[in-house]
Copies of this chain bind each other. A is one copy, B any other.
């Protein structure tokens, strides 16, 4: 029998974070002669593109979250641990956990993702929660549903109007989805259930600092998205910068010197700023890497850090370039397909290093861009060999729907989500309209 190629102790691969990047990296190493540890501070992998559906009571949490260790149950070379990595000790090759332990590694993939950024106004967080985790989604669901409950009880007209004003800050994909779905809830789901208020008269406002929504999309699709939002009854305020948020509403400064104005609102959602995990800055300090303004770590062409070929950074935590042969490097967008592709390349580069081969540069394959607005409403921008394919409306919504269900991790979840959507589609109902007891949460 021939000797195994690598007869020494198996290399230890540590993957920090089990989002799209971390999950793909670990899966890509399923047949590799390595011992993998995946550590995440949640016990589940979250299908973040549908998180807004949990926040708007369209899906239950388990429909879009699968336990990390369940996903790896058949991959014997993976050990899954629940824990939060707070620092990388690049010299000793170990990751320090919040509870005091340390995880050693020979190869490290950092895929710790991103969180909200309030642009230096962290005091806004309590008034305008963002949407990154399941807890965030539950909190937004609670505020959204309880606002209608409070409005039903309120006797003062101005206060009732504030309870019935819903503001989403940020016109990216999450903000557009949230605003569109809130409008649907107010206009389609809740009418008929209240005796003192008319939920369909609720005001839904989307505030965007730039000149259009969905700025990653071509201008024609941004315009279509705006039109579809307005068709659902969303007030779209562009070139409008938020300058203050408190418990009773927010203050908006239009571009061009017009006077700032106030919107009284009790339910405000933050979908404006993304910041990399704090682990990025710590890692940069430990390795001499550079971080950008959002705290993302600048990686080399092969996704590793200069001077630390054993450390790769992937996903939203990385500022990476796409290297297509014969073209200028292009920045990689912060989207889930990019995170997955980066995870796969980082894993493949570990295997190349184990075999003594040189690593490969990252090349992002862009298949296009989708965003949904509401029932029957979406925009699609596909990349094809014959040029871009762009469409919007019902067909775009169906395309978006099936693409998302296809990519949902785990077969059971796909069926459940399809079922939930089919029933929601026919009835305009949202079955997950459950919030905890008021006494226990307030």
Q: Interface of A with B (CB < 8 Å)?
A: 41-44, 60-63, 65, 67, 69-70, 72-74, 78-84, 98, 101, 133-135, 138, 145-146, 149, 152-153, 192-196, 412-413, 415-416, 419, 423, 429, 431-441
- The answer to whether B81 touches A436 (Cβ under 8 A) is no
Provided the pairs A83-B153, A412-B423, A423-B412 are in contact, do residues A43 and B434 lie with their beta carbons within 8 angstroms?
A: yes
Judging by beta carbons under 8 Å apart, are B135 and A440 in contact?
yes
Partner pick for A437 among B41, B61, B196, B438, CB 8 A cutoff: B41
CB contact under 8 A between A79 and B195, given known A62-B60, A134-B434, A434-B61? yes
Known: A73-B192, A101-B153. A42 touches B436 (CB 8 A): yes
A43–B436 Cα distance when bound, in Å, is 8
Q: Distance in Å from the Cβ of A136 to the closest Cβ of chain B?
A: 9
Task: Check B67–A439 contact: CB distance below 8 A.
Answer: no
Are the CB atoms of A43 and B195 closer together than 8 Å? Answer: no
* Contact in complex: A431, B412 (CB < 8 Å): yes
User: A79 with B153: in contact, given A61-B60, A438-B42 (CB under 8 Å)?
Assistant: no
Per the bound structure, the CA–CA distance linking A32 and B154 in Å amounts to 27
Closest B residue to A37 by CB, please name it.
Answer: B195
A98 to chain B: which residues have CB within 8 Å? 439
Measured in the bound complex, the distance between the Cα atoms of B44 and A193 in whole Å is: 13
Q: Is the CB of B60 within 8 A of A149?
A: no
- Each complex incorporates copies of this chain amounting to 2
A41: chain B residues at CB < 8 Å are 437-439
Partner of A67 from the list B60, B82, B195, B433 (CB cut-off 8 Å) is: B433
Q: How far is the CA of A196 from the CA of B70 in the complex (A)?
A: 15
Closest to A148 in B: B69
Asked if B133 and A437 make an inter-chain contact with CB atoms under 8 angstroms apart, the answer reads yes
6 new A-B contacts, CB < 8 A, other than A43-B435, A98-B439, are A41-B439, A42-B437, A44-B435, A62-B431, A83-B438, A133-B440
Q: Are the CB atoms of A439 and B62 closer together than 8 Å?
A: no
Q: Which label, helix, strand, loop or mixed, suits the secondary structure of the A interface?
A: mixed
For A134, the chain B residues whose CB sits under 8 A away are 434, 436-437
Q: State how many angstroms separate the Cβ of A46 from the closest Cβ of chain B.
A: 9
Complex contacts, A436 vs chain B, CB 8 Å: 42, 133-135, 138
Select A69's contact among B43, B67, B146, B193, beta carbons within 8 Å: B193
Chain B residues whose C-beta falls within 8 Å of the C-beta of A431 in the assembled complex:
62, 412-413, 416
Partner of A433, one of B62, B149, B195, B423: B62
Contacts of A82 in B (CB 8 A): 146, 149, 152-153, 438
Cβ of A149: which chain B residues have Cβ within 8 Å of it?
43, 81-82
Residues of B within 8 A of A195 (CB): 78-80
A15 to chain B, nearest CB (A): 15
A-B contact pairs, 9 of them (CB 8 A): A42-B435, A43-B146, A43-B435, A67-B433, A73-B192, A80-B193, A135-B436, A138-B436, A412-B431
User: A266–B60 Cα gap in the complex (Å)?
Assistant: 28
Complex Cα spacing A170 to B65, Å: 32
Q: What is the minimal beta-carbon distance from A433 to any residue of chain B, in angstroms?
A: 5
Tell whether, in the assembled complex, residue B437 and residue A62 are in contact, meaning their CB atoms are under 8 Å apart.
no
**Which of B61, B74, B433, B441 sits near A70, CB closer than 8 Å?**
B433
